[in-house]
Structure 1
Amino acid sequence: MDLSVVVPIYNEEENIPVLYQRVTDALAPTTIDYELILVDDGSADNSFAQLKLLAAKDKRVKVIRFRRNFGQTAAMSAGFDCATGHVVVPMDGDLQNDPLDIPLLLDRMHDGFDVVSGWRKDRKDTFINRRLPSILANGFISHMTGVHLHDYGCTLKAYRREVLEDVNLYGEMHRFVPALAHQVGAKVTEMPVRHHERLHGQSKYGISRTTRVILDLLTVKFLLSYSTKPIQLFGRWGIYTFGAGFATGLVTMYMKFFEHVNMNRNPLLILTAFLLFMGVQFLVLGLLGELTARTYYEAQGKQIYNVKEKINFV
């Protein structure tokens, strides 16, 4: 199988027939052997009935149905797990992504890239509550992860399947897959893609997810920089706070002996105790993190590196 197209579906009964037709029309002129994986994320409308009809008439259509709504990340993860194509392309089910861009993404991969991320350069959404927060968020995410993309939120991307095998998705982390893939050595690029106004229904995933995205970004930053060396993060802050506590302790002693300020009336004494305690806490947390990291990698036989290929090994 050359290609797996993965589409999360949540209450999109009006869009499903059009989506199927557009994907078919986009890939029919090519010689690409593909499958269309549609993941019903616990829809409450007639989406699953529509999906069953498509699967019955076209064997390239494969349907996964969740028992309840688990969210977009879970739906994409299920599609990735079941994909058999050499390249996996996720896209939204609301028709705002254009399947005509799929062959273009695949052509871009021929230049040696493992991940090609779509960029909705001419985005058809409102500026204040959709585009402006997206611009700010993408700049922040790029700075935090070190992988500079204009549009992390664009679902339309192309991944080599072997890259996805090393990426586990939780929370809202589907948007951070390019950064996680870059961590294991994938070559990442982006290209402009089309973006259309929604024809039917309304967006199921809006600005309300901002808090969850920020928290997941902190997780991704930790995974990218410190997952194999947590002591370098917590130990550093432990040394800083312990040093600050030692400094305030010296000031407290100076004020006691040279300015005759009683220590029990000096608030710096409380600050000194607090900083010294926090310094010890950070150091202990770092050591516990080191134990956890070793358990995670060694118990599961995971490696802290990723090999692209081997030559002349038996």
Structure 2
Amino acid sequence: MKKISVVIPVHNEEKNIPIVYKETKEVLESMRKEKNYSYEIIFVNDGSTDNSLEILKELKKKDPYLRVLNMDRQRGQASALTAGFFYAKGDIIVSMDGDGQNDPIYIKDLVETLKRGYKVVTGYRQKRKVPFLTRVLPSKIANWLISLVTGVKVHDNGCSLKAYVSEVPKRLQIPHGFHRFLPAFFGVKNEEVCEMKVIDRPRLYGKSHYNLKRVFEVLRDLISIFFILRNPQKYEKIFLFLFIFFLISNSILLLYTLITPSYWVFIVDFLFFLFTGSCFIIWKNLKRFNKAQVEGVFKVEEIL
């Protein structure tokens, strides 16, 4: 009997949780009866300050198939997903948002598609009810760049609705912000990933956690992904050396420019300044990634 684990991170989603739970429960119950699947629903409470945890505790009292992981504090979606993946017991792990935008009805198709030999099936959101200029367009550009850098051709990395063969999301700890590069972040090959079109629903209640700052964070972290997917330990040392080299060179050129003003030396100094900043960003991200694999990115305070 195959077991499905559905991982749902939540932060201040008190009004959405009962609806998302009910819809997900209905889908998984029908799969249990029709296809003989076992299942568990894992809600990860990521430091909510509203009544989310109390609501989850009440639901847990009535449902043995429900598990609740209560994080020690708010650590972000990447950490919450990592915790859910770590504690999931299923052969198949499905992730989805807790705001109601991901329709659980697609879990059936995700799982059935996964059985065709893929390691990941990821949702591709259609008919998105969000502003084009501030949400859709930046998302398209970011997804194109992620595909270019990683070699995994996915149109919508930002869709949380994904199904994995269980060993895939358990491979790595996901540092803050790097959930935006799933599934490529887990080192899967392009041919191991399948996209499935899903209708994106409006958020049921509450306020979106999205802002334009995230677009710049994606671009910042994207520079590092190429090296993280190869040999992050080696490249951490290389970029530390390059950062120190360019920093010293930049300081010497700056001092020279102040003593003997020169247009061309200033241009070279400016370029070295850009190289210094780029190497620092890449080195910091590589260091953060390597540290996360050793120390972990989550701490669960309570398991219900």
Q: TM-score range by the shorter chain?
A: 0.7 to 0.9
Q: CA deviation at 1:205?
A: 3.2
2:206 to 201, 212, 229: 201
- Give 5+ residue unaligned stretches, structure 2: 247-258, 295-304
- Give 5+ residue unaligned stretches, structure 1: 242-263, 301-314
| 1:182–1:188 CA contact under 8 A, matched in 2 | no
Larger strand fraction of residues:
2
Q: In structure 2, what is the equivalent of residue 43 of structure 1?
A: 48
Q: In structure 1, what is the equivalent of residue 24 of structure 2?
A: 23
Q: In structure 2, what is the equivalent of residue 221 of structure 1?
A: 226
Aligned: 1:90 with 2:89 = no
1:72 to 63, 70, 77: 77
Superposed CA RMSD in Å reads 3.7
Q: Deviations over 1:141-160 (max 9, x none)?
A: 11121111110100000111
Q: In structure 1, what is the equivalent of residue 116 of structure 2?
A: 111
Q: In structure 1, what is the equivalent of residue 10 of structure 2?
A: 9
Q: Which stretches of structure 1, 4 residues or longer, exceed 4 Å deviation after superposition? A: 183-186, 231-235, 264-271
What is the alpha-carbon distance in structure 2 between the residues aligned to residue 265 and residue 127 of structure 1?
Answer: 50
Q: CA deviation at 1:212?
A: 2.4
1:187 to 184, 187, 192: 192
Aligned length: 267
Q: In structure 1, what is the equivalent of residue 129 of structure 2?
A: 124
Mark the CA change 1:186 to 1:266 in structure 2 (over 3 Å): closer, same or farther.
same
| 1:129–1:207 CA contact under 8 A, matched in 2 | yes
Q: CA deviation at 1:20?
A: 0.9
Highest RCO, 1 vs 2 (Cα 8 Å, sep ≥ 6): 2
Query: 1:107 is paired with a residue of what secondary structure?
Result: helix
What is the alpha-carbon distance in structure 1 between the residues aligned to residue 231 and residue 72 of structure 2?
Answer: 36
2:141 to 127, 136, 140: 136
Q: Deviations over 1:216-272 (max 9, x none)?
A: 22222221245365399769x89xx9xxxxxxxxxxxxxxxxxxxxxx97949968x
Greater CA drift, 216-225 or 95-104: 216-225
Q: CA deviation at 1:274?
A: 7.1
Q: CA deviation at 1:175?
A: 2.2
What is the alpha-carbon distance in structure 2 between the residues aligned to residue 202 and residue 32 of structure 1?
Answer: 34
Query: 2:163 is paired with a residue of what secondary structure?
Result: strand
Counterpart AA for 2:117: G
Percent identity for Structure 1 against Structure 2: 39
- TM-score normalised according to structure 1 size: 0.73
Q: Which has the larger radius of gyration?
A: 1
| 1:115–1:186 CA contact under 8 A, matched in 2 | no
- TM-score normalised according to structure 2 size: 0.75
